[in-house]
Structure 1
Amino acid sequence: MSKTDYNYEDEKRKILEKKVRAQQTFTKKIEIEKKPEWFKVKLPGGENYREVKAELKKNKLWTVCEEAACPNLSECWAAKTATIMILGGTCTRACKFCHVDTGNPGGKLDLDEISNAAKMAQVMNLKYLVVTSVDRDDLEDYGASHFANVVKAIKQSNPSTLVETLVPDFNGSQKHMHTLAQSSPFVIAQNVETVERLTYDVRDRRAGYQQTLKCLEFYKNHYPDISTKTSLMVGLGETVDELIATMKDLRAIDVDIITFGQYLRPTKRHLPVLEYYHPSTFEMLKDKAYEMGFKFVASGPLVRSSYKAADYMEHLKAQGHMK
Structure 2
Amino acid sequence: MIKPGWLIVRPPTGTKFQVLRRALHDQGLNTVCQSANCPNVGDCWSRGTATIMIMGSVCTRNCRFCAVKKGKVGETLDPSEPERIAIAIKKVGLKHVVLTSVDRDDLIDGGAGHFADCITALKQLRENIIIEALIPDFSGNTRCLKKIIDVNPDIIGHNIETTREFQALARDRRAGYNLSLEVLGKIKKICPSIRTKSSLMLGLGETEEMVINTLHDLRNVGVDMITLGQYLRPTIHHLEVKMYLPPDKFSEYKKKAMDLGFLSVVSGPLVRSSYSPRF
Q: TM-score, normalised by structure 2?
A: 0.95
Q: Structure 1 residue aligned with 2:141, among 169, 173, 176? A: 173
| Whole-angstrom CA distance in 2 between matches of 1:90 and 1:207 | 17
| Whole-angstrom CA distance in 2 between matches of 1:178 and 1:129 | 20
Q: CA deviation at 1:116?
A: 1.5
Map 1:1-323 → 2, pairs under 5 A? 33-77=1-45, 79-105=47-73, 108-309=76-277, 311-312=278-279
CA RMSD of aligned residues (A): 1.6
Gaps of 5+ in 1: 1-32, 313-323
Local SS of the residue matching 1:266: coil
| Whole-angstrom CA distance in 2 between matches of 1:106 and 1:88 | 7
Question: What is the identity, as a one-letter code, of the residue corresponding to 1:198?
Answer: F
Query: Aligned in 2, Cα 1:278/1:88: closer, same or farther, shift over 3 Å?
Result: same
Q: CA deviation at 1:66?
A: 3.9
Give the total of aligned pairs: 279
Contact 2:59 2:74 in 1 (8 A): no
Local SS of the residue matching 1:258: strand
Question: What is the identity, as a one-letter code, of the residue corresponding to 2:141?
Answer: S
Q: CA deviation at 1:62?
A: 4.2
Query: Aligned in 2, Cα 1:271/1:68: closer, same or farther, shift over 3 Å?
Result: closer
After the TM superposition, which parts of structure 1 deviate over 6 Å for at least 4 consecutive aligned residues?
none
Contact 2:157 2:198 in 1 (8 A): yes
Q: CA deviation at 1:57?
A: 3.6
In the TM superposition, what whole-angstrom CA distance separates every residue of 1:75-105 from its partner, at most 9, and x where no partner exists? Answer: 4345543210011111111011111121122
Question: What is the identity, as a one-letter code, of the residue corresponding to 1:210?
Answer: N
Query: Aligned in 2, Cα 1:60/1:100: closer, same or farther, shift over 3 Å?
Result: closer
Q: CA deviation at 1:111?
A: 1.7
- Worse overlay, 208-217 or 54-63: 54-63
Contact 1:96 1:204 in 2 (8 A): yes
More helix by share: 1
User: For residue 29 of structure 1, what is the aligned residue in structure 2?
Assistant: none
Q: CA deviation at 1:201?
A: 0.7
- Identity value in percent: 46
Query: Aligned in 2, Cα 1:107/1:308: closer, same or farther, shift over 3 Å?
Result: closer
Gaps of 5+ in 2: none
Question: What is the identity, as a one-letter code, of the residue corresponding to 2:153?
Answer: P
Local SS of the residue matching 2:222: coil
Q: TM-score, normalised by structure 1?
A: 0.82
Contact 1:164 1:186 in 2 (8 A): yes
